[in-house]
């Protein structure tokens, strides 16, 4: 093994933010993020699920698309305020936020897996032994492209469905139980 060889042997659970960690606001069947802290509600069971996953030595990394910033309908400071609150309140290792829209051609906007690959390098994560939990097709596809097993929390949004998630669950807590019983 050469000098500088990175050992990637940690396992992670990648988590979408809105609809997984905190309640998404539903507007005409579509999910929209809270824009300020007084709209933020952490979902039931999330703290318990994260604590159990952390106790089992999983890295917990939130990967979130926030395109409303690029679209001009939300401000970066509002997103950061919510992220800072989540980091301070929950046992999370990192929050990776994409502020771009499709036209920006970044590699961090899900379904692209750039944020997962970057996290893998920074933290030494074995992506094939890791998981992605999300409530939209973009989350599931990003996880699949990174080689993770995927959990789809199905709220029945009126939008494109994900293609072949490994598991369909009702909450992060349900996903945690499946992960920790060894699948
Ligand atoms: Mg979501
Ligand atoms: Zn991006």
Average pLDDT rounded to a whole number, residues 18-28: 95
Q: Is 97 helix (H, G, I), strand (E, B) or coil?
A: strand
Of 16, 68, 135, 139, catalytic: 16
* Least confidently predicted of 5-9, 63-67, 102-106: 5-9
Ligand 2 centroid from CA 66, angstroms: 9
Ligand 1 centroid from CA 169, angstroms: 14
Q: What is the dihedral of CA 19, 24, 29, 35, to 10 degrees?
A: -140
8 Å CB contact between 24 and 33: yes
Tell me whether residue 130 is in a domain: yes
172 closest CA partner among 152, 157, 156: 152
Tell me whether residue 164 is in a domain: yes
Looking only at the bridges linking them, the beta strands covering 131-134 and 12-15 are parallel
Domains in the chain, number: 1
Average pLDDT rounded to a whole number, residues 3-10: 76
CATH number at residue 82: 3.40.50.1000
DSSP-assigned letters across all residues of 29-98: TEEE---SGGG--BPTTHHHHHHHHHHTT-EEEEEEE-THHHHTSS-HHHHHHHHHHHHHHS--SEEEEE
Tell me whether residue 10 is in a domain: no
> Of the bound ligands, which one is closest to the alpha carbon of residue 159?
1
Tell me whether residue 4 is in a domain: no
Domain of 161? 20-180
83 closest CA partner among 65, 59, 102, 70: 65
The string over 107-125, giving b where at least 16 C-beta atoms fall within 10 Å of a residue's C-beta and e elsewhere, is: ebbbbbbbbbbebbeeeeb
Ligand 2 centroid from CA 104, angstroms: 7
Ligand 2 centroid from CA 124, angstroms: 21
pLDDT band at residue 178 using 50, 70 and 90 as cut-offs = very high
Ligand 1 centroid from CA 44, angstroms: 16
Average pLDDT rounded to a whole number, residues 68-87: 94
Tell me whether residue 118 is in a domain: yes
* Residues forming a β-bridge with 43: none
> Of the bound ligands, which one is closest to the alpha carbon of residue 20?
1
pLDDT number for residue 4 = 61
Q: What is the pLDDT of residues 100-149, one digit of tens each?
A: 999 999 999 999 999 999 999 999 999 999 999 999 999 999 999 999 99
Tell me whether residue 11 is in a domain: no
Tell me whether residue 84 is in a domain: yes
pLDDT number for residue 182 = 86
**Is 135 designated active site?**
no
8 Å CB contact between 166 and 134: no
> Of the bound ligands, which one is closest to the alpha carbon of residue 25?
1
Percent of the residues in the chain that have a pLDDT greater than 90, as a whole number: 89
pLDDT at 2 over 60: no
Q: What is the DSSP-derived secondary structure letter of residue 156?
A: -
Tell me whether residue 13 is in a domain: no
Average pLDDT rounded to a whole number, residues 45-65: 98
* Least confidently predicted of 19-23, 137-141, 179-183: 179-183
> Of the bound ligands, which one is closest to the alpha carbon of residue 66?
2
pLDDT number for residue 5 = 62
Average pLDDT rounded to a whole number, residues 150-174: 97
**Is 166 designated active site?**
no
Average pLDDT rounded to a whole number, residues 76-98: 97
Ligand 2 centroid from CA 34, angstroms: 19
């Amino acid at each position: 093994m050469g000098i500088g060889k990175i050992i990637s042997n940690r396992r992670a659970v990648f988590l979408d933010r809105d609809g997984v960690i905190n309640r998404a606001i539903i507007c005409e069947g579509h999910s929209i993020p809270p824009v300020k802290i007084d709209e933020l509600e952490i979902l039931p069971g999330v703290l318990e699920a994260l604590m159990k996953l952390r106790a089992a030595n999983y890295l917990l990394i939130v990967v979130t698309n926030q395109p409303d910033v690029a679209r001009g309908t939300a401000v970066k400071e509002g997103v950061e305020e919510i992220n800072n609150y989540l980091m301070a309140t929950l046992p999370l290792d990192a929050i990776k936020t994409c502020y771009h829209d499709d036209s920006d051609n970044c590699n961090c906007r899900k379904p692209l897996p750039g944020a997962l690959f970057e996290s893998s390098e920074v933290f030494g994560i074995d992506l094939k032994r890791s998981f992605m939990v999300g409530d939209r097709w973009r989350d599931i596809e990003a996880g699949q492209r990174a080689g993770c097993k995927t959990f789809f929390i199905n709220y029945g949004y009126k939008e494109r469905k994900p293609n072949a998630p490994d598991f369909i669950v009702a909450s992060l807590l349900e996903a945690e139980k499946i992960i920790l019983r060894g699948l």
